[in-house]
A and B are shown apart, each in its own frame.
Chain A
């Protein structure tokens, strides 16, 4: 079980590095991709927590988070490309 904890901690480090790019990132595409990477790390951390704690309900939260992060990335990319979210 220790390997799941180590993996989760490494993913926390990756998310913090992506947070640096989100704050410092000079352009808007950098920030969008960094937020997407943070969301992906968070989803995997949720699934690892579900395995570590043996609580399957965290997988539901991971599914919802995946869906909402896909929506956020799509809306931000649409805003970047066209200047409007809805066409």
Chain B
């Protein structure tokens, strides 16, 4: 980066540095409050990925690749399906159908509370997966990725 480039996008960089933490916080709010307001796992993942895109717009793709490396994208991208299948199989092993949350014997929780906890766990997994995959898609489409992911 040349010396005059530092001051070229000064407003954009400052606004992005202010906005990105609040976008990530808003994504977490949408993720954890999705049962009572519009939102859920997918929307929260897209909002958090939009925060990453804003970071890559204000700085550059190398910054995004440094903060969201390939191993992070692969691990987060595969966490959600594994989480989903593990919770579904746990419901089967507890004597119910696939994803029949109420039968899982979590200690000191009523069946309705068990459903709420496990649905939130599935939503969090979906959000983490969408966050990793959307960021990887942006890196692939813009050619900023030096590998085929």
Binding site for B on A (CB under 8 A): 57, 60-61, 63-64, 67-68, 70-71, 74-75, 78, 85-87
Contact = CB atoms under 8 A, between A and B. Distances in A.
Q: How large is the interface on B (under 10, 10 to 19, 20 to 34, 35 or more residues)?
A: 20 to 34
A34 to B, nearest CB: 21
Contacts of B47: 64, 67
Nearest to A61: B38
Interface of A is mostly: helix
A86 B26 contact: no
Contacts of A87: 60-61
A86 B50 contact: no
Contacts, number: 40
B83 interface: no
Nearest to A68: B50
Interface of B: 12, 19, 23, 26, 30, 37-39, 43, 47, 50, 53-54, 56-58, 60-61, 142, 144
Contact of A67 (B26, B37, B142): B26
Contacts of A78: 57
26 contacts: A57-B37, A57-B38, A60-B30, A60-B37, A60-B39, A61-B38, A63-B26, A64-B26, A64-B43, A67-B19, A67-B26, A67-B47, A67-B50, A68-B50, A70-B19, A71-B50, A74-B12, A74-B57, A74-B58, A85-B142, A86-B56, A86-B60, A86-B61, A86-B144, A87-B60, A87-B61
Contacts of A57: 37-38
A61, A68, A78, A86 interface centre (most CB from chain B within 10 Å): A86
B64 to A, nearest CB: 9
A64 B142 CA distance: 24
A61 B37 CA distance: 10
